[in-house]
Amino acid sequence: MTTKLSLFRLGARLFGLLSLAIALATPTIAASEVPPRADFEVIHMTPALIERLREGGLVIYMRHGATDARIPDQIPVDLDDCGSQRPLTQAGRDSLDEIGRNFAKLGLPYERPISSPFCRAKESAERVFGLPIEVDVTLRYTAAMPTAEKAPAVMRTRELVSLPVETPGSNRVVVAHGPNMAEIMDYLPPEATLIIFKPLGLEHPPGFEYLASIEPIDWPVLLNALGLE
């Protein structure tokens, strides 16, 4: 009886270890991603920086709008099937439309927006910045990938906020995912946040300077400061 009990306990322990190993090796998409480091300090947008944006040469990176975490991306995800991806909520769409109206009031020059291939990012880009948009298939959602596979997406994210803006007097617009940003600067912005960067070039690590953020709750204060309510 003692021998049988010992074998049972050993088998149970091995099963537990195997289950843990499988869980750690399997990529998952959490309902809420890993939060940013506690020491990251968000810089809020100022009217002075809006004036810098009107001169061009900066990068606006936007995380897609609010999504329904109860409907996760399928693994593997089908980029041609929006039904296999985490969708925007109706409240998220309404908020994006309002952000689009607010953004238009700023009168900022920008190139054709570059979007992640995920439906929630493409729809966010269209609602805020309008058509046409340019889809970059490399700019994928990094939280859905094993470490080895997400390297190209992380590199592309870094390139788009680091390389000089090609059109003089204009800004680059990128619409993608929060985890991509967390990969390059330990900052997981709220959904529908705009982040402003000064590109420094990849030859000057990390390649960019973080200037400010416009989180969804910041718009009323910013527009009031600019006299654009």
For the chain, where are the alpha helices, taking DSSP H only?
Answer: 2-25, 47-55, 90-106, 119-129, 147-162, 178-185, 219-226
**Closest to 121 measured CA to CA, from 165, 77, 155:** 77
- What does the buried/exposed string (b/e) look like for 49-80 if buried means 16 or more CB atoms within 10 Å of the residue's CB? bbebbeebbbbbbbbbbbbeeeebbeeebebe
Q: Does domain 47-226 have CATH number 3.40.50.1240?
A: yes
* The pLDDT value given to residue 18: 38
Helix, strand counts (H, E) of the chain: 7, 6
How far apart are the C-alpha atoms of 98 and 154, rounded to whole Å?
30
Please list the pLDDT of the chain residue by residue as tens digits (229 residues).
444 434 434 444 443 443 333 333 333 333 345 454 557 899 999 999 999 999 999 999 999 999 999 999 998 899 999 999 999 999 999 999 999 999 999 999 999 999 999 999 999 999 999 999 999 999 999 987 888 889 999 999 999 999 999 999 999 999 999 999 999 998 999 999 999 999 999 999 999 999 999 999 999 999 999 999 8
